[in-house]
Amino acid sequence: MNMPVEPLRAGDPTRIGPYRLLGRIGCGGQGCVYLGKAPGGREVAVKALHVGGADDGAARRRFARGLRAARAVPAEHTAVVYEADLDGDLPYMVIEYIDGPSLQQAVEGRGPIAGTPLRRLATQMATAMVAIHEAGVVHRDLKPANVLLGPDGARVVDFGIAQAAEATALQSSVVMGTFAYMAPEQFGGEPAGPAADVFAWAATVVFAATGRPPYGEGGNVAAVIHRIIHDQPDLGALAGPLRSIVLRCLAKRPAERPTAWWVLQAMLARGAVPAAAPPAAGKGGTGGDVGAAGVPPLRVTVGRAVHVLDGTRPYTVGGHGCTIEVARLSGELLYLRYRGAWMVRVRIPDADIRVEGGRRHRDTFTLAEPGARGTISAYVGEYRVTCKLDLETC
């Protein structure tokens, strides 16, 4: 199934910069994406603001912000940005043309996805979500229409324009599809952080598995929002570990949802993944054998407290044995496998994390050897909090 392309309509440009436009891929509230041809003959996607938006300074700034976000995310998870012109009469960016349908088009045309293809899709989307968050970006508009099914797998696209379009739609009560994938906090005026992407990931997985979002999309905007905020999700026939993962990601409160890293590790686990809340620190088990998820248990010593991690859930740590200069902070340890290496990642809300000896990620221990030892420093404003950690596989 190829990417559907419509003929150009009256009023559409036939050329933008040096690119000849061949058809229309899709339009949102603020801009359109066209299939174009570069001077050398390569097919590309050309994303441009609507003519009216070109005279709107705020629209131009949002467009530029979306461009920066798209460039920050590793190319293997999204569409490559080839070039852009933000200063001309019609701002545009030229990106990789992915010849494949969106998830929305694929499910509407061929029906829901199940079994291994569904798990593969969910894992690819989770991997992209991790890459997006690692780049310091929150997508805020993850939905089936923004997941492209290319020849080499799923890509997450559209950073910026769709967000502005949906903000307008929320005021006008016109567009329905997007609201079904928005997290409850987005309707209460709260900032949409990474947890909103996790919620949207889960809602998108439900659509892929059932052909509809977990809270439906019928009725008016107010009805959809009410169901998202107050009702329980309808997961249909979604079963097994994936159902448990999705259910946890659809928690009403952002703080109760797992991180993208946890979602990815849970998707990579071979056995059952618990849907319940994680156990209290220090009560993760005694270690010894590889757990049900195929993850070797890891013993972590924080000061005089010992924790055993099994890689399927986050663990709250901190307190005893930590040097706290301002207040007692609690953090979260995530034990996961990523790109062939076992890692322990440290998260403390509202703190900038530094891991002594950290490699690829400044807040992550990479376990290249059976054990590791180091210091975690959490910076909160001008204050520093440190914790000593010893890591040892059981």
Fill in the amino acid letter for 389: L
d(CA 342, CA 178): 36
Cα separations in angstroms, 371 against 318, 390, 391: 20, 8, 5
**Tokens matching residue 99:** 């010849």
Q: Which helix (H) or strand (E) holds 301?
A: strand 298-302
Which of the residues 55, 85, 89, 141 is marked catalytic? 141
Which three-class secondary structure state does DSSP give residue 53?
helix
Cα separations in angstroms, 225 against 250, 253, 315: 14, 15, 32
Count the neighbouring beta carbons within 10 Å of the beta carbon of residue 297: 19
**Tokens matching residue 225:** 């929002």
Q: What's the angle, vertex CA 251, arms to CA 255 and CA 299, rounded to 5?
A: 55
Residues 24/18, Cβ–Cβ less than 8 Å: no
**In this structure, what are the phi and psi dihedrals at residue 205, rounded to the nearest 5 degrees?**
-65, -40
Any residues with CB less than 8 A from the CB of 230 and at least 6 apart, and which? Answer: none
Is 152 catalytic? The answer is no
Count the neighbouring beta carbons within 10 Å of the beta carbon of residue 285: 14
Burial (CB < 10 A; 0-12, 13-18, 19+), residue 151, is exposed
Residues 293/273, Cβ–Cβ less than 8 Å: yes
Residues annotated as catalytic are 141
